[in-house]
Amino acid sequence: KRKQIAIYGKGGIGKSTTTSNLSAALSDLGYSVMQIGCDPKNDSTTTLRKGKPIPTVMDTVRSGSNKLDNLIFEGYNGVHCVEAGGPEPGVGCAGRGIIAAIELLDNNGIIDDIDPDIVIYDVLGDVVCGGFAIPIRQGIAEQVYTVTSSDYMAIYAVNNLFKGILKYSGSGGALLGGIIGNSISKISQKEMITDFSEKTETNVIEFVPRSSTVTKCELDGVTTIEGAPNSEQAEVYRQLARNVINNKDSYIPKPFEAQDLADWAASWINNLLKEEKIEQNGIRSG
């Protein structure tokens, strides 16, 4: 049975980096993978394609072309790459690309023809509105994952996403598969995200450290899995891939109310400040 997941998170938080490494790791494990970028930035799949951009579904639609074979491009180890694309800047709803992509690919049976084992939607998740909510609302994805750091704005976006998931959970919407902590370089950041997951009755599926290997590989136009397969970072992404494959659990999150979230974050600031002080003084104490 095909597994369809969607990965949400604030812009710039590491969704595409994490998703592309996940896709690459899954394809190395022998799965046939399709990655669909649902972000007007159109750069979801570039590190799967040696840094080369691909035309978007919206470009193809706008050009009036009905050549459907111009939508899917081959990436690393045969990963099927799609970029939904977005509206022209300043015009129309940013979610239109997703709607167009899903209509074209799903409704025309194109995904069925390719028959991938796993479809991963990489979705800009600041706004759980219109098109961006479609993978959740229509239950297209069976599980939603979210990438976050311990930064307040990133967690704030996750909390909003949880509100969206909760809202559609009673009507066949996708549920949460788990949180992916990204750029985790301190114990307290791990603890903070773990605490957030406990308070919202969800779970953390993997912690991904901040790593210059990721940056180096990105500058070379490749994923860490391709560019540094023997690195510790690549092993983290492979572990993430195994965890996602084996994860059969889905959660209905219990999001914070706005004020409660702010209070919760404030209560964590002291811990983070304490840790910074320890670092500055070069001492560690219990």
Q: Check residue 16 for interaction with ligand ADP (CB under 6 A).
A: yes
What is the size of the binding site for ligand ADP (CB under 6 A)? 16
Residue in 41, 163, 186, 216 annotated catalytic: 41
Reduced to 3 DSSP states, what percent helix, strand and coil does the chain have, rounded to the nearest 5?
50, 15, 35
Report the residue number, 20 or 202, with the smaller CB distance to Mg ion.
Answer: 20
CA dihedral (229, 232, 237, 240) in degrees, to 10, reads 140
- Of 15-23, 68-76, 250-258, 269-277, the segment contacting ligand ADP by CB under 6 A is 15-23
- Considering only 4, 9, 10, 16, the residue that binds Mg ion (CB under 5 A) is 16
- Of 63-71, 98-106, 205-213, 267-275, the segment contacting ligand ADP by CB under 6 A is 205-213
Q: Supply the minimum distance, in Å, between the C-beta of residue 158 and Mg ion.
A: 16
Find the angle CA(244)-CA(265)-CA(233) to the nearest 5 degrees: 35
CA dihedral (71, 74, 75, 79) in degrees, to 10, reads 90
Judge whether 3 counts as a catalytic residue.
Answer: no
Give the contacts of 113 (CB within 8 A, at least 6 positions apart): none
Both tokens assigned to 216? 């180096």
Backbone φ, ψ for residue 79 (5° rounding): -60, 135
Judge whether 199 counts as a catalytic residue.
Answer: no
Find the binding residues for Mg ion in span 101-140 (CB under 5 A).
Answer: none
| Spatial separation of the C-alpha atoms in residues 115 and 136, rounded to whole Å | 21
Report the residue number, 169 or 211, with the smaller CB distance to ligand ADP.
Answer: 211
Q: How many CB atoms lie within 10 A of CB 276?
A: 12
Q: Check residue 65 for interaction with ligand ADP (CB under 6 A).
A: no
- For Mg ion, what does the binding mask look like between residues 33 and 52, x meaning CB under 5 A? ------x-------------
Report the residue number, 16 or 211, with the smaller CB distance to Mg ion.
Answer: 16
Q: Check residue 210 for interaction with ligand ADP (CB under 6 A).
A: yes
Q: Check residue 17 for interaction with Mg ion (CB under 5 A).
A: no
- Of 11-19, 64-72, 243-251, 255-263, the segment contacting ligand ADP by CB under 6 A is 11-19
DSSP type of residue 90: T
CB 8 within 8 A of CB 145: yes
| Spatial separation of the C-alpha atoms in residues 48 and 209, rounded to whole Å | 21
Residue in 3, 15, 28, 39 annotated catalytic: 15
CB 205 within 8 A of CB 177: yes
160 binds, among ligand ADP, Mg ion, none (CB under 5 to 8 A by kind): none
Q: How many CB atoms lie within 10 A of CB 228?
A: 18
Catalytic residues: 10, 15, 41, 126
**Which residues make up the interface to Mg ion (CB under 5 A)?**
15-16, 39
**Which residues make up the interface to ligand ADP (CB under 6 A)?**
9, 11-17, 182-183, 208, 210-211, 214-215, 218
